[in-house]
């Protein structure tokens, strides 16, 4: 297809980040022409659709905290004040901590209280009273072999929960269409043509000594051009930008989710004492790697593990989940701590790929020439998307400070690469 029409803004990637950025830019500039392209057939079909979509405000770095808190507040605003349902459920996060983790988190916990995060301690006896299916002291031969440790206490994050990313996507999609933004699906950006800002029409341009700009992107549907390009292509970002020498510092890392269902999970799904929904919170097992999300509407639980040592950084265009990953890595631990998972096999499974910023695990929003890059969500892009979109908007507007939801401010350079300052995140799942 292609078009000779030149857009003011061309967004590559209709995931939650590209949509959020386009939404806020268009809010600020109702008259500009915007085209959003995506290789999939509809918006939000990349990582956004694969997410476990848990959201939390409990971060130790003020940047992460600000990004997450303001985005969660925006989602609350959309759901509770405008009436557009996002299935936002503040079911809480429950960290089950072993002895070493209790010690390691002591200072962090105190700091988070000071920063206004609502975290409550759930003592061991209370945990067994509220969650009869939980084994506090796994002691079977298998548990000993795996080195599973006793649960010393629970930490319950109250302003945390879950959301439906597809509904956030629907919200942005509807609002963008209302504002005249164009979409083109099934359009894969294949390469980017860089040119000289001031061209002499010489073969071999742009030369080292010339200022450069993106002139055009080539897609399977022909070329498209714009004044400004916004690349929010998730794990596809590096593939597009590496060839033109923009280093976005990300690596892809697969993550799989397993859906479990069975009558033995009913009591867990109907846990009282944590939230209004009377369900078990989003739960992180001791050791911090294996977690599960209750999905009461589906009468199911989604289980996954946080990627780490042993899991490769590798690009897979369409990653798929493998049941043996569940059987060998997740099930043995899950079923020792929670007997109600015993003998359950996944009824469904899927996989996505984190765009991991391997430097500090925090989003990157940077402008190079006429290209804004928004990437490096590192597994927490749903909970930070609104704020990331607003930072991209401030950069589009050449502003040094982004105004986030709830009158919060964030200096745009903090997420950039040149003057990056994101602090250390110590509360990582």
Ligand X SMILES: Cc1cc2nc3c(=O)[nH]c(=O)nc-3n(C[C@H](O)[C@H](O)[C@H](O)COP(=O)(O)OP(=O)(O)OC[C@H]3O[C@@H](n4cnc5c(N)ncnc54)[C@H](O)[C@@H]3O)c2cc1C
Under 8 Å between Cβ of 108 and 60? yes
Examine residue 261 and tell whether it contacts ligand X (CB under 6 A): no
- Considering only residues 78, 257, 373, 404, which one is a binding residue for ligand X as defined by CB under 6 A? 257
- Considering only residues 248, 377, 392, 422, which one is a binding residue for ligand X as defined by CB under 6 A? 377
Examine residue 349 and tell whether it contacts ligand X (CB under 6 A): no
Nearer to ligand X, 148 or 163 (CB): 163
What is the Rg, in whole angstroms, of the alpha carbon atoms belonging to the chain?
A: 23
Nearer to ligand X, 135 or 362 (CB): 362
Residues pairing with 36 in the sheet: 11, 183
Examine residue 169 and tell whether it contacts ligand X (CB under 6 A): no
The conformation of residue 207, written as its DSSP 8-state character, comes to: P
Phi, psi of 400 (to 5 degrees): -85, -15
The residue range among 37-45, 96-104, 111-119, 415-423 that interacts with ligand X, by the rule CB under 6 A, is: 37-45
- Please state, as a whole number, how many other Cβ atoms lie within 10 Å of the Cβ of residue 90: 18
- Please state, as a whole number, how many other Cβ atoms lie within 10 Å of the Cβ of residue 309: 4
- For the bound state, the minimum distance from the C-beta of residue 292 to ligand X, rounded and expressed in Å, comes to 11
Please list every residue from 9 through 28 that binds ligand X, using CB under 6 A.
Answer: 12-18
The residue range among 33-41, 113-121, 241-249, 272-280 that interacts with ligand X, by the rule CB under 6 A, is: 33-41
Distance CA 76, CA 13 (A): 25
- Considering only residues 21, 88, 284, 383, which one is a binding residue for ligand X as defined by CB under 6 A? 383
Examine residue 92 and tell whether it contacts ligand X (CB under 6 A): no
Q: How many residues bind ligand X (CB under 6 A)?
A: 38
Please list every residue from 278 through 307 that binds ligand X, using CB under 6 A.
Answer: 304
Reduce the DSSP state of residue 329 to 3 states and report it.
helix
Contact residues for 228 (Cβ-Cβ < 8 A; gap 6+): 8, 9, 10, 370, 371, 372, 396
First-to-last C-alpha distance (Å) of the chain: 44
Instruction: For residue 190, give both structure tokens.
Output: 């294949």
Nearer to ligand X, 148 or 194 (CB): 194
- For the bound state, the minimum distance from the C-beta of residue 210 to ligand X, rounded and expressed in Å, comes to 26
- For the bound state, the minimum distance from the C-beta of residue 84 to ligand X, rounded and expressed in Å, comes to 19
Reduce the DSSP state of residue 341 to 3 states and report it.
helix
- Considering only residues 131, 148, 233, 285, which one is a binding residue for ligand X as defined by CB under 6 A? 233
Identify which of 365, 273, 290 has the alpha carbon closest to the alpha carbon of residue 330: 290
- For the bound state, the minimum distance from the C-beta of residue 266 to ligand X, rounded and expressed in Å, comes to 24
Reduce the DSSP state of residue 84 to 3 states and report it.
coil
Distance CA 389, CA 7 (A): 19
Strands 182-185 and 34-38: parallel
Nearer to ligand X, 339 or 370 (CB): 370
- Considering only residues 188, 289, 367, 408, which one is a binding residue for ligand X as defined by CB under 6 A? 188
Contact residues for 205 (Cβ-Cβ < 8 A; gap 6+): 195, 196, 199
Examine residue 346 and tell whether it contacts ligand X (CB under 6 A): no
Examine residue 234 and tell whether it contacts ligand X (CB under 6 A): yes
Nearer to ligand X, 77 or 126 (CB): 77
Nearer to ligand X, 105 or 229 (CB): 229
Examine residue 399 and tell whether it contacts ligand X (CB under 6 A): no
Examine residue 214 and tell whether it contacts ligand X (CB under 6 A): no
Nearer to ligand X, 66 or 143 (CB): 66
- Please state, as a whole number, how many other Cβ atoms lie within 10 Å of the Cβ of residue 170: 17
Reduce the DSSP state of residue 91 to 3 states and report it.
coil
Under 8 Å between Cβ of 46 and 15? yes
Under 8 Å between Cβ of 290 and 334? yes
- Considering only residues 94, 160, 290, 382, which one is a binding residue for ligand X as defined by CB under 6 A? 382
- Considering only residues 3, 45, 150, 259, which one is a binding residue for ligand X as defined by CB under 6 A? 45
Examine residue 52 and tell whether it contacts ligand X (CB under 6 A): yes
Instruction: For residue 205, give both structure tokens.
Output: 């341009």
Examine residue 365 and tell whether it contacts ligand X (CB under 6 A): no
Footprint of ligand X (CB under 6 A): 12-18, 37-40, 45-48, 50-54, 188-189, 232-234, 236, 240, 255, 257, 304, 352, 354, 377, 379-383
């Amino acid at each position: 297809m292609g078009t000779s029409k030149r857009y003011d803004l061309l967004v590559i990637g209709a995931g939650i980040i590209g949509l959020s950025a386009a939404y806020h830019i268009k809010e600020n500039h109702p008259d500009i022409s915007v085209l959003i392209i995506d290789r999939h057939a509809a918006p939000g079909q990349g990582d956004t659709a694969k997410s476990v979509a848990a959201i939390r405000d409990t971060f130790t770095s003020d940047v992460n905290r600000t990004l997450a808190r303001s985005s969660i507040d925006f989602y609350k605003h959309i759901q509770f004040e405008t009436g557009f349902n996002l299935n936002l459920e503040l079911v809480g996060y429950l960290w089950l901590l072993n002895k070493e983790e209790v010690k390691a988190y002591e200072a962090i916990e105190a700091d988070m209280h000071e920063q206004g995060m609502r975290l409550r301690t759930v003592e061991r006896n209370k945990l067994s009273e509220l969650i009869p299916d939980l084994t506090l002291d796994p002691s079977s031969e298998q548990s000993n072999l795996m080195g599973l440790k006793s649960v010393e206490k629970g930490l319950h994050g109250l302003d945390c929960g879950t959301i439906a990313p597809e509904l956030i996507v629907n919200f942005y999609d509807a609002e963008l269409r209302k504002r005249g933004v164009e979409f083109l699906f099934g359009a894969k950006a294949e390469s980017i043509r860089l040119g000289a800002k001031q061209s002499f029409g010489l073969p071999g341009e742009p030369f080292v000594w010339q200022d450069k700009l993106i002139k055009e992107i080539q897609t399977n549907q022909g070329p498209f051009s714009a004044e400004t390009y916004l690349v929010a292509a998730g794990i596809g970002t590096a593939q597009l930008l590496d060839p033109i020498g923009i280093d976005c510092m990300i690596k892809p890392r697969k993550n799989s989710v397993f859906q479990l269902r069975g009558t033995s999970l009913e009591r867990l799904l109907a846990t009282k004492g944590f939230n209004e929904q009377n369900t078990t919170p989003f739960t992180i097992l001791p050791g911090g790697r294996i977690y599960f999300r209750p999905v009461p509407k589906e009468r199911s639980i989604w289980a996954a593990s946080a990627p780490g040592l042993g899991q490769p950084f590798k690009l897979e265009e369409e990653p798929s989940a493998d049941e043996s990953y569940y059987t060998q890595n997740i099930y043995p631990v899950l079923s020792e701590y929670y007997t109600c998972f015993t003998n359950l096999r996944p009824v469904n499974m899927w996989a996505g790929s984190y765009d991991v910023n391997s430097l500090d695990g925090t989003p990157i929003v940077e402008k190079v020439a006429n290209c804004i890059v928004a990437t490096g969500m590192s597994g927490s892009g749903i909970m930070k998307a609104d704020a990331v979109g607003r930072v991209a908007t401030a950069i589009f507007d050449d502003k040094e400070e982004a105004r986030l939801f709830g009158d919060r401010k964030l200096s745009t350079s903090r997420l950039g690469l040149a003057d990056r300052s994101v602090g250390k995140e110590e509360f990582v799942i």
